[in-house]
Structure formats: structure tokens, C-alpha cells
Amino acid sequence: MKATKRKITDMTVDELKGVIHEAIAEDMEVWRETFEIMADSKLMGQIRQADLDRAASKKGAFVAWDDLYSIKSQTRRKRLISNRIH
């Protein structure tokens, strides 16, 4: 489905509800991924170590946020962090 720009005033109530529902669903997915990462103690330890390494200017010991953010899958994020740190 192709996205089109429309004014809210041109939308029906049901269309607006759909837009709001999609936005909330996307936010919920992002939070779910965040909580999964935070619940993984090993991964959080790796992230903390990467922060320390970055602060100490250890190149190659951490993942730049832009690299991490561009990866959609939470599983691929874990794999990228694990590969870079170990």
C-alpha cells in the first residue's frame, strides 16, 4: 500500500483511528525490543563494556550508534554487538 499525505480534516474517523493504531503499534514494537535488550543481562554487560571502551577511545571495541540503529532486527543487533566486542 502506497503511503499518501492527507490532512487530518480530510480523513474519516475510522481512517484516523487506523493511523493512530499503526503509530502506537510501531512504538510498542520499539519498546518491546528495548525491554528485550534490557532483560538480557549478558547483552547489557556488553553494552556497558562498549560504553567504557568508547570512553577510553578503544577503536573497534564498540559499535557506533548509527551502525546499530540502522539494523532493524533485534537479533541482528545482538549479533553485531557480540561480534564487535568479542
Cell of 27: 512504538
Residue 2 within any structural domain of the chain: no
Q: Model pTM greater than 0.75?
A: no
Residue 5 within any structural domain of the chain: no
Residue 20 Cα to chain centre, angstroms: 20
Residue 6 within any structural domain of the chain: no
Residue 43 within any structural domain of the chain: yes
DSSP H helices in 12-73: 13-39, 41-55, 65-69
**Residue 3 near residue 23, CB atoms below 8 Å:** no
- 80 lies in which domain range? 12-85
Residue 1 within any structural domain of the chain: no
pLDDT tens by residue, 35-68: 999 999 998 998 898 888 888 887 776 666 766 6
Residue 53 within any structural domain of the chain: yes
Domain count, the chain: 1
What is the model's pLDDT at position 38?
92
